[in-house]
Every structure is written in C-alpha cells, then in structure tokens.
Amino acid sequence: MKIAVTSQNRKTVTGHAGRCRKFWIYTLEESRVVDKSLLELSKDESFHDSDSNAPHPLDNMNILLTAEVGKGLSARLARKGIRVVVTQETDPDSAIKQLVQTTE
C-alpha cells in the first residue's frame, strides 16, 4: 500500500491538499512501513494547477492523508481510485500509525 501525506513544511501534516507540493510517501507491507521518502512537485504539478485528466505523480497512491481537502479534489482522487483520509494528527508518522490501526 502506498500513502501520500500532505506536508508542505516537511514536518507536519498540512492542509490545502490541492495546493500542496510536498508529500511524504509511505510504502507499507503487511501494515508496516517499509519505505518513507519525500516527493516534491513543481507548482504546475500541484493538484490545483494540473489537469485532472492528465497523469499525475501521485496516481499510484492508495490513500491521500491530509489535514484538509476540498470536495473537488476528493472527487478527482476518487475517480482515480485514491481514498482521501482527513486527520487531526499533525505528526506524519503518528498519523500513519493511527491510519493503520483503524484499517486493520
């Protein structure tokens, strides 16, 4: 499973998912994190500025984890088979742990 976490400041889970350009990418196998890397998008690649029908660097994610997301982006990601999860947790690693615990 691959999870993208919005983190514009590279430290916390941030909102404004449509304008976010920095994402922590977590790869999980059997509910365990096996890889974590930072993906930085150009301004043109942000969801807000990119074509919703064009391929996107986050198309291979299973889940987008964020502090805030609009209805339009939620619908766009749903069409691509990406589940959106909103969290109040600010620490990315803790947010991933909570997500795993609630989906087991």
Distances (CA, A) of 11 to 38, 45, 57, 70, 82: 11, 21, 21, 22, 23
Domain ranges of the chain: 2-51+59-87
Q: Quick: pLDDT tens for 17-70.
A: 999 999 999 999 999 999 999 999 999 999 999 999 899 999 999 999 999 999
pTM of the model: 0.95
Structure token pair of residue 67: 């502090």
CATH 3.40.50.300 fits 2-51+59-87, yes or no: no
